[in-house]
Amino acid sequence: MRHSAKASTCLSLAVLIGTTLSGMTWAQPIARATATPASPKPATTTLPSAPSAADQQMSARQSMEESIARQKAAIQTQLGNAPADGFFVTGWLSAPPTLSVAADCTPANPGETDAAIKDAADAEHLNPALISAVVRQESDYDPCAVSAKGAMGLMQLMPETAAQFSVDDPFDVRENIAAGARYLKQLLGRYKGDLRLALAAYNAGPKKVDGDPPAEPDITETQDYVDRIVKALDGASAETDAAIR
């Protein structure tokens, strides 16, 4: 009986252990934590910081001053080598106006300017001496000249005038003279061949001349301008086809 009880106790214990063991959740092998490598960050290119507005202005001004210095030297050489008895290259009729020099502009030689004046005069049926006198008075034959008001080149075209005649480069000798000659011809037609009115409008603008009737404006600079150019023509006609209008 004692053995039977002991056996029964052992059996009960075995059953208990078996039940416990069968109900246990066996621990799974601990997985070794493997760190997932982080995606590499795209390489960051460090761009140089943009120059400040002040730095840009200083750089642009320095470049312009260097260019102007080179152009002035070239222009002085050009004018110094100009023939004194050239038909189109003569001295100033008066003291030249205050002009600056455009950057990145190539000075012209007298022969190039003379040829451009002749071609423009032929195209517009104008006296070449008229175009020559206007060029002298406007810029003293400096294709790089820029006035304080923004007029540009040999015949000092204002930006709106250059745009009106589709000028791509107002400092190009041929483009500038061709446009200036067309403008002069247009003004002569507007004022029915009256040279003084046409010249006054070229200098001061048509709005200062238009009226009923049109008249030269009471502007000393404009009146002197007209007088000097008319005097240079010495009575010659402004147009080669003046009789056909």
Structure tokens at 43: 């390489």
Quick check: is 239 catalytic?
Answer: no
DSSP classification of residue 133: H
Distance (Å, whole) CA 97 – CA 143: 14
SS3 114: helix
Over the Cα atoms of the chain, what is R_g?
45
Of 138, 175, 216, 239, which residue is the catalytic one?
138
d(CA 173, CA 162): 13
CB atoms inside a 10 Å sphere around CB 62: 10
The runs of H, that is alpha helices, within the chain are 2-23, 53-80, 110-124, 128-139, 159-164, 173-190, 195-204, 220-233
Q: Which DSSP state fits 73?
A: H
How many angstroms separate the CA atoms of 79 and 91, rounded?
Answer: 10
Q: What are phi and psi of 237, to 5 degrees?
A: -70, 145
Which residues belong to the active site?
A: 138
